[in-house]
Chain A
Amino acid sequence: MGIIKKFEVTMFGLSKFVSRGLTTSLRRYISVGESIPQTNLTVIEKVNGKFEKATINSGSLFKNQKVVIVGYPGCYTPTCETLHLPQYIQRAEDLRKNGISKIYAVAVNDPFVTMAFAERLGAEDKISFIADGNGDFTKKLNMETDLSAGGLGVRSKRYSMIVSDNKVETLNDEGGPSFTNLSAVSQILEQSSKKGASK
């Protein structure tokens, strides 16, 4: 009786170890070649001169076109507001010339804050915003980072990606909130023009 119990305990422990190992190895970030996981997204964009909010399924948003998704830590944070996003707004036209139909800036912020931020940036209709208020989309991509130390809670890492027909074609992952040339618009412009040339 005692031996069977010991066996059960050992097998249980072993299976837990194996499953945890599997989970760890499965929990990697979204990578090139993968499809964007199906999610309902809150999209904020300027329609007829006014910022509107709509819930759209990611599949219908990203299929049959080439888009750029820019992940950023937070609305109104210094880098996002003064450096990172303004770049994408300024070069939006150049990205379009490279075959990018739309640019989506995504952060773990609610729709209200995101809309106010879009107005403040003067984004107009150059870039659209995804308000990932509960962080669902960011977590599905495994692109979240804990910025609780800064009073921000769980947020998106800074990254940029080219998504073609719902598949990740290119990913530039800063691995955290910092801003380097990796997630800058210049990098994505180069990557999208190469792809465009190789069409």
Chain B
Amino acid sequence: ITSTALFKNQKVVIVGYPGCFTPTCEGIHLPQYIQRSADLRKTGVNKIYALAINDPFVTASFAQKLNAGDKIAFIADGTGEFTKKLKMETDLSSAGLGIRSKRYSMIVNDNKVETLNDEGGPGFTNLSAVSQILEQARKNK
């Protein structure tokens, strides 16, 4: 699907994360978004997309493991093309991960970035937590 077809005429949240099956992404970051997805919908967010530089096979298995169901959707940016276009890549070669997405969250409204919370790297703080995005989504409702 082209990005414009996906993002136009609606409000979505995009969550960038370093990698499927990595401890923080699997244990804390993404589960938060799965748990609060209904609350995000109440603020007018139509869809939540979790995005990482992983191939479709790994991503599908990860989504299953997380029991994401239909609560959040996943973008498998296998070659990193989308992440690089957003200039949100970071080099995690020292951890054997290669080029990956930084951790971030954003609200995209009719294909335009409305809000961006950029961790600047793989770290996880309140900045990219679901609580932050919930608050921002409520303000902009």
Q: Please list the residues of chain A having a beta carbon within 8 angstroms of any beta carbon in chain B.
A: 42, 74-78, 109-113, 115-116, 120, 131, 133-135, 148, 150-153
Contacts and interface: CB of A to CB of B under 8 A. Distances in A.
Given A113-B19, A115-B21, A151-B78, A78 B97 contact: no
B57 A77 contact: yes
Nearest to B78: A151
B98 A133 contact: yes
10 contacts: A110-B22, A110-B96, A113-B19, A116-B62, A133-B96, A134-B97, A148-B78, A150-B55, A150-B56, A152-B79
Given A110-B97, A134-B96, 14 more contacts: A42-B96, A74-B55, A74-B58, A110-B98, A112-B23, A112-B97, A116-B65, A133-B95, A133-B97, A135-B98, A151-B56, A151-B78, A152-B78, A152-B79
A131 B21 CA distance: 14
Nearest to B22: A112
B45 interface: no
A107 B3 CA distance: 30
Nearest to B61: A76
A112 B78 contact: no
B57 A74 contact: yes
Contacts of A111: 95-96
Contact of B78 (A42, A134, A153): A153
Contacts of B21: 112-113, 115-116
A111 B56 CA distance: 17
B108 interface: no
B96 to A, nearest CB: 3
B60 interface: yes
A75 B79 contact: no
A113 B53 CA distance: 12
B19 A112 contact: yes
